[in-house]
Structure 1
Amino acid sequence: MNQNIPEYTLNDGLKVPAIGLGTYSLKGEEGVKAMVAAIDAGYRLIDSAVSYENEGAVGKAIKRSSVPREELLICSKLPGRRHPYQEALATIEESLYRADLDYYDLYLIHWPNPKKDLYVEAWQAMIEAKKRGYIRSIGVSNFLPEHLDRLIQETGVAPSINQVELHPFFDQEEQREKHAEHGIVTESWSPLGRGNDIVQHEKIVRIAEAHGKTGAQVILRWHTQLGAIPIPKSGSLPHQKDNLDIFDFELTPEEMDIVSSFNRKDGRLWGQDPGEVEEY
């Protein structure tokens, strides 16, 4: 693993790097090339999902890269339509077949889909998949505090990670506090606020100039100092390298407050409330 990237130890003992590569929309040959470039540049945590329809490309990139499989941490996610117990187990097996892998390092339930009320059943399947050796560490994505409480109460097993929408417009303070209570690591999807120009905001640019960094690097550093793992998506090698280059400087408490000042009560950029969203 890149020695410049700090690690977190999850509640089940798995060590993961403090930044990863998001692969949403990285597909086909171009996606494979982008992922190979990212791995060769130093990324070791690669985030995918059944719904991204690119597990095959991830598997191909692993085989083409110069990094041994055992040094990589590969993640995928269970879609909402596959929450029933037996379907969940079969889906995890199919994920492995598509990527041509013997195991996933991380596997997450993508959304709780609370209206269907099958996420506890899906979690039980995840626990079984881990026992079978399909997965090294099991977690969730987009789970609200009440969903986490129910999983733990009914199964006795806390997720190792919860991947949630987190960016300066939505800093998820209460959610992160809940994670800390249960020893759950926070992972940030859309860490740069996809589709917004916050990286060019004058306040962010001023901080960036003070450190000789870019606006994107400042925001990614903000994530890591919050204790969250950002997983920015980029198919561009220069951007991939820039996104990794965030561990040689530190934001002051005042600068952290400036970035956090963009937070809004409900700053979700696409209105994807996990209490309402039904993901299939």
Structure 2
Amino acid sequence: MDDKKFMKLKEIQILFHNELDALFGKEEVDNFFFILIESYYGIKRFQLAMDTSLGLENNEAILSALKLLKQEKPIQYILGHTEFYGLPFKANKHVLIPRPETEELISWIIENTDVNEKLKILDIGTGSGCIAVSLAKNLPKCEIVALDISANAIKVAEGNAQLNNVEITFVKSDILNVSDISNELINKQFDIIVSNPPYVREREKEHMKPNVLDNEPHIALFVKDNNPLQFYEAIVNFAENNLTSKGLLYFEINEYLGDKMIFLLQRNDFQEIELKQDIFKKDRMIKGIKS
């Protein structure tokens, strides 16, 4: 790689394509390049289009990012931040990178919630806090509690709540272990419980890209092939005692397990069950009302 002190941005852009196109494709590489020059140097895409002679006196940061991209490290982890539901979020190796389908889940919840209601909402498996923070920002009268098993994830989520100026109660607990669930949750009733728990079966790893497999926390992604609904079953059991009558239960789900999720909710007497597809026509969300 050429480490000349001064390089034109167009030269660096060509270098990005030479090094990365085979991995990501031309359009995605352009996205990476423009995100990085704006984040690191405050240079926007239109500025480069207007002045092709723009260059960098210090190209160390962007060339370092290029090296990490070649190793298929997610750009969100390289930058240490991302955007989700129009809000800024910190991101690192301790949390999953928030995804567009989860934005659809949040929109569904908000569409079904009166913004003036003072509801109690629990987010189980909060990770970066993207669901809890987005709901707190858009439903400011609601009381939000967020749970995660990972102390490192909670630290990131707390930072994201502060970054977005919202109040959320964070609780470290393991939803799979009843004896580990905090007393403040066991004795509390919620109007809405939402979760995007681990749901990728181990056998689906072979279809996943290295940038996910080699970087994002497996504890937040994968479940055993022989027990893919273990988190959903635990959360439904928790909801039986901690969701108010007519309370709403929302899940993001594995696209291949929609029928099993419907049966799980029916078996536990949830009513008005609705399976919803994402923009890619995949069964991705489900909602039920406690009877």
TM-score (norm 1): 0.32
Q: Which has the higher contact order (CA 8 A, sep 6+)?
A: 1
TM-score (norm 2): 0.32
Could you say which structure has the larger radius of gyration?
2
More strand by share: 2
